[in-house]
Amino acid sequence: ISVHRFQSHWMSEILNQIPGPLLQWYDSRARVLPWRSQPTPYRVWVSEIMLQQTRVEAALPYFDRFMAALPDIAALAQAPEAQLLKLWEGLGYYSRVRNLQKAARQVMEQWGGMLPQKLEDLIALPGIGEYSAGAIASIAYGQRVPAVDGNVLRVVSRLLASRENVMDPKVKRQLRQQVWDIIPAQRPGDFNQSLMELGALVCLPNGKPLCSDCPLENLCLGNRLAIAQELPVKPPKKARRVVPRTVFVLCSQGRLLLHRRPSRGLLASLWEFPGQDGHLSLEQAAETLAQAGIQVSSIASLGEHTHIFSHVEWPMVCYQVECLPFPAAEDYVWCTPQQLQEQYALPSAFRPFAQRLHLTP
Ligand code: SF4
């Protein structure tokens, strides 16, 4: 027990020393980002949800477009689904934007259009977990609460040279509490952001921390013991399921056929080019279409593309098919290339094929 006490005392000693140099570093090095220069609750919330699965550089143009189209919670609550999905097109994990809207509607009804301030009230909203709630409460409302994401877990486990599994909820809880204990009362939001920023710019993942550029170089136990690049410890990832697919871009009289995916599961309710599981050769593809009663005038390969989701991988082959027009069944629509551009959200899995199309009017 005494060894354990000594260790935790030692770790608190290290952690207690980090806010000063970290905030100083943050003041001079932090990136200027639109949600940082104007950290209103709505902007912080949308940015945090966007950044959950997306890199900052990729999110920036989306964020600006989103704010221009839906400048406040009331506008988000009322937006038509097609507009929402179009604004999110290509970002993936579309349940994020659906939950944003559900939460916005709840905020309108329950909180008079103002995001609540308390951690537990924020967590009660759809799509807002412990991390996002902490980020909103600390950054937008100046509360002394932690916001511990993967970046912060990595930084803290390296600082403490912790070899414990950071995916273990108990370990996460402990690290979160350790961060909570050292948040300065004056600048809680900046402190949380400084930890995240350090993880994003210096204490890089995949064994590549830039320790010689780090303001915590001399404090960091992982660096001093030369084990930082081995941390954090995570259990091995499960292999992704591989599902080969054949995709058809059916074209008729300058229009393309889109299919709306089922309302549950992967890419729920989003538009796609129709397709089926398995890889078909060009001859097999032509035969399959003929059997479905489609009168094909020409068929050509649009090549291959593999799209990787978090748990599934789709190696796809794709055929562009010119055919005689036929009525679109339920959940299908014929659209012009311009409508595809402006109106229908096409997930990035299918974009390479859309770019390779040769359309004849
Ligand atoms: Fe990360 Fe290295 Fe800084 Fe430690 S010294 S926090 S390992 S970058």
Residue of 14, 196, 204, 211 to mutate, ligand 1, most atoms within 8 A of C-beta:
211
Judge whether residue 301 has pLDDT over 80: yes
- Give pLDDT, residue 361: 57
Q: Is the CB of 158 under 6 A from ligand 1?
A: yes
Spatial separation of the C-alpha atoms in residues 276 and 270, rounded to whole Å: 16
Strand partners, 250: 321
Residue 214 CA, closest ligand 1 atom number: 3
Spatial separation of the C-alpha atoms in residues 33 and 107, rounded to whole Å: 26
Q: Are 206 and 229 in contact (CB under 8 A)?
A: no
Spatial separation of the C-alpha atoms in residues 270 and 89, rounded to whole Å: 10
Spatial neighbors of 128 by CB under 8 A, at least 6 apart, are 45, 49, 103, 122, 136
Distance 203 CA to ligand 1 centre (A): 5
Q: Is the CB of 214 under 6 A from ligand 1?
A: yes
Judge whether residue 2 has pLDDT over 70: no
Spatial neighbors of 146 by CB under 8 A, at least 6 apart, are 134, 138, 152, 176, 179, 180, 183, 192
pLDDT digits (tens, 9 = 90+) for 160-195: 999 999 999 999 999 999 999 999 999 999 999 999
* Section 353-359 average pLDDT: 87
Give CA torsion, residues 67, 70, 73, 76, to 10 deg.
Answer: -130
- Give pLDDT, residue 3: 58
Spatial separation of the C-alpha atoms in residues 321 and 298, rounded to whole Å: 6
Say whether the peptide bond before residue 232 is cis (omega within 30 degrees of 0): yes
Residue 213 CA, closest ligand 1 atom number: 8
* Section 316-334 average pLDDT: 96
- Give pLDDT, residue 310: 87
- The structure's pTM equals 0.86
Q: Is the CB of 217 under 6 A from ligand 1?
A: yes
- Give pLDDT, residue 299: 96
Query: pLDDT band at 6, cuts 50/70/90?
Result: low
- Note the helical H segments in 52-94: 56-69, 73-78, 81-88
Q: Identify the residue whose C-alpha is closest to ligand 1 atom 2.
A: 211
Q: Are 11 and 160 in contact (CB under 8 A)?
A: yes
**Residues belonging to the chain:** 361
Q: Is the CB of 201 under 6 A from ligand 1?
A: no
- Give pLDDT, residue 53: 83
* From 13, 48, 272, 313, active-site residue: 48
Spatial neighbors of 249 by CB under 8 A, at least 6 apart, are 256, 257, 273, 302, 318, 319, 320, 321, 353, 354, 357
Nearest alpha-carbon partner for 179 in 205, 163, 159: 159
Residue 52 structure tokens: 């959950």
Judge whether residue 291 has pLDDT over 90: yes
Distance 5 CA to ligand 1 centre (A): 24
% of the chain at pLDDT higher than 90: 88
Nearest alpha-carbon partner for 135 in 227, 6, 45, 254: 45
Can you tell me whether residue 4 is helix, strand or coil?
helix
Judge whether residue 256 has pLDDT over 70: yes
Assess whether 48 carries a catalytic annotation: yes
Distance 212 CA to ligand 1 centre (A): 8
Judge whether residue 360 has pLDDT over 70: no
Cα separation of the two ends of the chain: 79
Spatial separation of the C-alpha atoms in residues 339 and 281, rounded to whole Å: 30
Query: pLDDT band at 86, cuts 50/70/90?
Result: very high
Judge whether residue 1 has pLDDT over 60: no
Judge whether residue 67 has pLDDT over 70: yes
Q: Is the CB of 119 under 6 A from ligand 1?
A: no
pLDDT digits (tens, 9 = 90+) for 221-242: 999 999 999 999 998 888 999 9
Residue of 17, 214, 225 to mutate, ligand 1, most atoms within 8 A of C-beta:
214
Q: How far from the centroid of its chain's Cα atoms is residue 117's Cα? A: 24
Spatial neighbors of 27 by CB under 8 A, at least 6 apart, are none
Distance 213 CA to ligand 1 centre (A): 9
Judge whether residue 13 has pLDDT over 90: no
* Burial of residue 321, with CB atoms counted within 10 A of its CB: 0-12 exposed, 13-18 middle, 19 or more buried: buried
Spatial separation of the C-alpha atoms in residues 47 and 227, rounded to whole Å: 33
Distance 133 CA to ligand 1 centre (A): 26
Residue 228 CA, closest ligand 1 atom number: 7
pLDDT digits (tens, 9 = 90+) for 27-64: 999 999 999 999 999 999 999 999 998 899 999 999 99
Distance 169 CA to ligand 1 centre (A): 23
Q: Are 35 and 43 in contact (CB under 8 A)?
A: yes
